[in-house]
Each structure stands twice: as C-alpha cells, then as structure tokens.
Structure 1
Amino acid sequence: MASARLLLQELFDDTSSDDSSDESDDEFQSILTLLAGSYDRPRVENYVQGVVPLYSLDTFKTFFRMSRKTFEELLQIMTTCPGVQMRNPSAGRPQIPIETDLLMHLWYMGSQECVRSMADRFDVSESTFVVHNRAMLDVLVNHVMPKIIRWPDHTEYDTVAEAFARKKGFPGVIGALDGTHIRIKAPHDHETDYINRKRYHSIILQAVCCEDMRYTDVYTGWPGRVHDARVLRNSPLWETGPRLCRQHLVLADGAYPCRRWLLTPFRDNGNLNRLQTKFNKCLSGTRVTIENSFGILKGRFRRLQFVDMADINYICKAIMSACVLHNICAIGGDELAEVFEDDVPPADNRNPNLQENDAEGPLRRMQLMHHLANVWTIYFFHKML
C-alpha cells in the first residue's frame, strides 16, 4: 500500500499544475480511499418496493423463476408456517418482510450470482442475506416439503398409472426412479469421497416422479462416489417401496436391482432377443420422465448447477428446497422453457447388484414382457386391417 501511495503521488505531482492542485489532491485522496477499501459499497435502494412491481409478467418469471401467480400462492403457504411470522420490534432496524425473504431466496435458487451481489440488490448485508436464506431453506424443507412432496394416495394410483401407460403402453407404473449428481465445491472433510466418475465433486439426489414430473419421493446427501444402488438401499424407499407400491411398479434403469416393486431393464450382454430389446425400449421410453425432470429442475433453479456452500447440511436443504419449488410450479402448471443439459455420469452396470434381485422381480419382468408382446401383436394386427 505504501509503494502504491508513493507511485500515485509521483504521478499526480508530474501531471498536476499549480492552478488545479486542490482538485488533484481530491482525486488522489479518492483513489487512496478506494485502494484501502474504506468506503460504503453502494446498494440498490427500494428494489423490492419500487422496482419489482414494475416488472412485466415475463421479466418477473425470468428473474424469480416462477410466475407472479405461483409466487403469491407460495407466499400464502409460507405465511402459515412457523418461524416466519412478522414480529413488531420496538427498536432497531425494521424486520425484513416475508415477501422480501422469499424473493431473495428465489433469486438465490434461480441464479449463480454471488452473495455480495445479491445482498446489494436487496439492500441487506451479506451476513443478513445468508441468515435469512438459510431460514427460508429451513422453512421450506421442514414445513412445506411434507405437504408438497408426497407419495400418491392409493385412490390416485390408477390415474397415475393410466397417465404413464399413455406414453408407451407400460401398465401399472406409478413412478420413475433415478439419481442425479449435484455439483458442489470441494468439501473440507472427506473430500475424495465426493468425487464422482466424471472427476468432479457432487452430492447425489435420488428422486421418484409421476408422469407430470412432480416428485413423490426425494432423498439426498450421499457423496458422488457412491453407486446409485447403494444410495437406494440406504434410503427409506428401500424399506417402504413394497408397501407404497402395492401391486404397482416403479421403473428404474440398470444401475438398480430388479425387485417386485422396482422394475429394471434386461441386462444387455449382447445377446438379448427381439422381445427383450423391445421391452427395454418401452421401459426406457416410459422412465425417461425422471431424466427430463432433472433437466427442468436444474434449468429452472440454476443454483443446482453448482452449489457454492461449505455446509453439507445446507447444501442438502438447498437441493430439497429446489425440489419443493419445482413441485409447486408443476402443480400450478407453471412451465419455464429452460432445460439444463446435464453431464450426468452414466450408470455403472459393470458390477450389477444381482444379489439384491428378489425372486419376484425378474419373474414379474418376464410376465410383463409377454403381456406387452401380446399387446404389440394385437396392435399390429389391427393396424394391418
């Protein structure tokens, strides 16, 4: 700093004239102040009250990743949750309104902007932004998620199965299961455990979705190095799946074991027959819904493309929060035409978990293959008439 001061002083001494010395001194002191960092960083004033209401519907949706209508519905949900009610402080700075808290959180989830920039936009300190953002994560995960992310009621099973069947004719399906990697910065602890097969740090999100891409089950927290099948075996769904599905099915890819309630494709060793190949294509065409949902999730809530947090617990809450917001938009038919083309590590099928297949899974798969073969034959026969 001292050398920079001397250099600037020489520069101003050489370029200043006697009649402008006062002005040069002022400029010199201004630059020194900037170098020292002892200045008040300008912030955006009155952004929520004065600027946001002027946004068009499209601009609001671009910035906050949902329509005004969906935002108002979400705000109503949030106001009923414990921990977000406004208090009436007797002294000090007025409390930040719930609406502002929610707008800050949506901006955070929908962008890759740094905290400093977002804090300036909403006219709060960086520490205040972080504290309030974490409070929103707590509320969304602890209070809103149980209402928004839920398994279909048994009275809804037939409706969901019919919607899946309209895709490729696959019967009895009430969900599609898969995992996706959420890129994170290198954690402080057990850093190598989080490096996946694509050589970047990640946390795995496991999810089941309906045909409309609403999530009915989400589970996250395992490091990117872990195999999808192991994540499933350690998730609550492994135990509750048979009871939840009853006689219906969840579809998954070849990284998972084949069970009575969880159907996977025939393993392709290069010797599949025609019916097995067609069955696999039919299953894949039905199951692709879950992959599409991940692209929409990361395209809408761009924070999931790289979560720059140090606290693994709050990284998981950010992932879950995005799933909650995704469902709220899906329920309201609030679409956003931005899809993230994910660089997902391919499923590792080199060591299939055959020991985890139960006796009923492969048998049910074979029965379904023959059922679909009859359907295809009838369809072909009628088409030829």
Structure 2
Amino acid sequence: MDVSEHVLSAGRAVLDMVEREWQPLSPGELELRLDQAVEDILESDLMATLQAQPPPPASTIYVQLLQSQANVGPQVLNTGATTPGPPEEDVSESEHLLETVDSAAVKYIADLLQSSKSKTRMAGRARLSLSHTVLLSLTLLTERLSYRCVSRRFHLEKGNIHRIFFSFCERINSLKEKQIQWPVGEEAAEALFPLYSPEKKEEDEEQSVPQVLGVLGHTQIPIRLPIGKHDLESTVPEVKRMKREAHPDSWLNLELVCDHRGRFLHCRISKGSDVDRGSALRDRLKQHPELMPSGSYLVARAGYPLTAHILTPYTRSVGPREELFNKTLEGHFQILDQAVANLRARFQRLRYLDIGNYERARAVVLTACVLHNVFLDMGQVVQGEAEKEEAITGEGDVDEDGVCRRDAISDVLLRSFDSGSV
C-alpha cells in the first residue's frame, strides 16, 4: 500500500475526530466575533458619553417628539429599550424560520425536555436558553443548512453549534420510551382498524374481520461513509469509486411500525449491512404474544417474515384469491409510505446525513422519529410526496402458523368478495 494513501487515511481520521470533538474558529467566525466585540465597545462608549451630558430641556424633547411623529406617520411609539434590528437578509431568514418551525412547537418540546427526568446537561460554550437550543436544533433538522449558515444566523461558532445539536439529540433520544410506545390495553383497542371493510354490517361478519394493529416497513437514510470503510487498495479514483460502488454502510436502515394515523409504534435503526428485516420484532412478538390483541396482525411487504402475527403478500402461485389478498394489503402499505414521506418532508436533513460516525447518525435519525410523533400529537403534519417502498423479490422467513392464517384470511376475503360484501 502506498505511503500517501496511509497519510490520506490518517488525515481523514484526524479531521473526523476534530469535527466531532472540537473545531477552532474559522476566519469568518473570528471576524464575526471581532465585529461583535467592536460594536459592544462603541455602544458602551456612546452610552457613557450620553450619560455624562446634561439632559436637554423638556421643551426640546417635546419638539423632537413632534418632529419624529410627523416623519414616521401613525405608528405606535416604543418607549422601551430597543436593540438594533437585524439586516434585511437576517429578517427574511427569520421569517422563513418562523414558517418552518412554529413557536408553539418550540415551547412544547422545551417543556418536554424540562419535565423529563434525564440528567444530561446541554452542551455548548454559549449560554443559550432551552427554547433557543430547541430552535437551533430544529433549524438544523428541518432545513438543509450548513453549520456555517446556522452559525451566521444564531451568531455562534460552528463547533459550539455542533455540540449543542448533538446534546439536544441525546436528550430527545431519552424520550423514546415515552414517545414511541407499543400500544397495550385500551390504547391497542383504539389503534386497531379492519383489514378490509365489509359492506354488509352483519354482527357475526364484523367480528370475523381481521384487525390490523400497524404497518411494518422500512426506509433507508443515506449517510457519509465512515473513513475506515474506504477501500484504499483499489486503484479506482475515490470519487468515481464511491459513485459506482455503493457501500452498504453508506446508509442506515430505519425499520418502522406505524398505526393508521401514521404514528410510529416501533423504531429500529441499524447499519445498511444489516439485512435482517423484522426478525427482532418477530422474535419479540413470539415471546410476548400479549402485545397483539386477539385477531389482530401487523401487515408488511414481501421480504418480511410471515408469522402468526405478521401478514405478508403471496409471492408465488398467485391466482384470483392471492391477487385479492395482495391488493388488500397494498392499500395499507400506503399508510407507512405516507408516514415516511411526512418524516422526510419535515426533517429535510434526513435526505443526506453528512455524518461518518454511526452512533451520531443514528441519534439524529432517532431524534427525527421521536419528534415526528411529538408533532403529530400536536396536530402539526407536513405532507410529503409518498414513494413506494422498494420491492423485494421472494418471500422472507415463513412460519407454518403464518401460512395457515394467511390462507384462512384470504379464503374469507374471497368469499366476501364473491358475495358482494366487500
């Protein structure tokens, strides 16, 4: 292996470590801080000069007030202390920010963090209030902005913003158990919805209709490839190689279960090289069957395990019965597709996470999932354009009990269709 390649790899590792732990001020950020320091000095000198001068006569103040009213027209006079307004560019950015992040959401999330039992201290050299910390972090999540751009908006150093943001993610991650919960008891009963809706409202038939607790599926979040995963022995130039050969760990697998409202009931984040789909959830439901109400199921696309609790489509020997069953399931898959689209539309940083550290990338994705439920509970939904989950050829793991239940349900569904009740 060439020495220059070793040096290049070592340099990348050092840069990645510096990015995670500490970043010095860039020339632009240093200039910003110097400008602020000069403004503070000039302001203090001006205030000292004004305080040293004798106050003007009352008649002079009255004349000046009349002149100012004549110049500004019928506006409300602000007699309180004022601060210089932001430049026009900052005003437009602030207006866009208020449209993207609602102030009520900032307060709601800040209250959640304030009431949480987590003892984690928010990081950062600057003494930001909790509400400003939430606003800064939501800005990074909801908009595809660089740290430099956010630095100019909030007048903080890039390295400080980096620490504040990941400290916020750590605190939000601690809320996962409360915000992403598997429903039980009355909550589970309220979450159920029918696999299909019979037109005839006969009591016996309604009781026999299988119920769906949630839709199981996944999406992929692209991330920056970790430094250690680059193939340094390849003779192909690095940029061309990354475009041509997608490494499995250049994305995260986000496995989700959502209810009919699009609320996440289950969330599992794994590396792209992890190809086990739904196996952990399958084992959990097998060990704790009480998590599934009687007569209820999860529905999932092909490639997921077919079990007594998870229904998947037919992939071979497809006739009229199987086609009807698959079409019925396909209608439910759109619920998850829309929930994923809404997640991506609100948290645009998920389009590409420029993070080479798996744990930190995972923390950001989990933060977005937790906040997805928070915003949904607040009634704030951002509609995204749904995309169909990538289809998988072939069936996943098959449980004999799952095969029997799927066949029985498809038989009932076909009879209902032939009798005109569906």
Scaled by the length of structure 1, what TM-score is found? Answer: 0.73
How far off is 1:319 after superposition?
0.5
Q: Does 1:138 align with 2:170?
A: yes
Distance 1:379 1:187, change over 3 A: same
Q: Does 1:74 align with 2:109?
A: yes
How far off is 1:84 after superposition?
6.2
Q: 2: distance between equivalents of 1:146 and 1:262? A: 23
1:250 to 276, 280, 298: 298
For structure 1, which runs of at least 5 residues remain unmatched after alignment? 1-35
Q: 1: distance between equivalents of 2:28 and 2:351? A: 35
How far off is 1:113 after superposition?
0.9
Q: 2: distance between equivalents of 1:369 and 1:197? A: 43
How far off is 1:362 after superposition?
0.8
Q: Does 1:152 align with 2:183?
A: yes
2:285 to 233, 241, 264: 241
Q: 2: distance between equivalents of 1:297 and 1:74? A: 17
Counterpart for residue 332 of structure 2: 286
Flag the structure with larger Rg.
Answer: 2
Q: Does 1:320 align with 2:357?
A: no
Counterpart for residue 15 of structure 1: none
Q: Could you list the per-position Cα deviations for residues 259-297 of structure 1 after superposition, in whole angstroms to 9, with x for gaps in the alignment? A: 001110011x4x411121011010110122111111110
Counterpart for residue 30 of structure 1: none
1:25-44 maps to which residues of 2 (within 5 A)? 37=27, 40-42=30-32
Equivalenced residues, count: 320
Counterpart for residue 271 of structure 2: 222
Q: Does 1:62 align with 2:63?
A: no
Misfit runs of 4+, over 3 Å: 36-45, 54-62, 83-87, 163-170, 195-200, 340-344, 377-381
Scaled by the length of structure 2, what TM-score is found? Answer: 0.67
Q: 1: distance between equivalents of 2:219 and 2:134? A: 26
Q: 1: distance between equivalents of 2:96 and 2:129? A: 22
How far off is 1:210 after superposition?
0.4
2:254 to 192, 205, 214: 205
Q: Could you list the per-position Cα deviations for residues 198-254 of structure 1 after superposition, in whole angstroms to 9, with x for gaps in the alignment? A: 94721100010000000000000222x443xx1422x3x232223222432111000
1:1-385 maps to which residues of 2 (within 5 A)? 37=27, 40-42=30-32, 59-60=96-97, 62-64=99-101, 67-81=102-116, 82-83=118-119, 95-142=127-174, 144-162=175-193, 171-190=210-229, 199=246, 201-223=250-272, 225-227=273-275, 230-233=276-279, 235=280, 237-242=281-286, 243=288, 244-247=291-294, 248-267=296-315, 269=316, 271-337=317-383, 339-340=384-385, 346-350=390-394, 352-353=395-396, 356-380=397-421
Contact 2:198 2:421 survives alignment (8 Å): no
Q: Could you list the per-position Cα deviations for residues 344-370 of structure 1 after superposition, in whole angstroms to 9, with x for gaps in the alignment? A: 6x23324x33xx311110110011112
How far off is 1:118 after superposition?
0.9
Q: 2: distance between equivalents of 1:380 and 1:38? A: 70
C-alpha RMSD of the superposition: 3.5
Amino acid at match of 2:376: A
Q: 2: distance between equivalents of 1:197 and 1:211? A: 39
Q: 2: distance between equivalents of 1:358 and 1:102? A: 46
Q: Could you list the per-position Cα deviations for residues 103-127 of structure 1 after superposition, in whole angstroms to 9, with x for gaps in the alignment? A: 1110011111111111221111111
How far off is 1:340 after superposition?
5.0
| SS of residue paired to 2:30 | coil
Contact 1:164 1:173 survives alignment (8 Å): yes
For structure 2, which runs of at least 5 residues remain unmatched after alignment? 1-25, 37-83, 200-205, 232-241
Distance 1:138 1:50, change over 3 A: farther
Aligned-residue sequence identity (percent) comes to: 19
Q: 1: distance between equivalents of 2:331 and 2:211? A: 15
Contact 2:195 2:328 survives alignment (8 Å): no
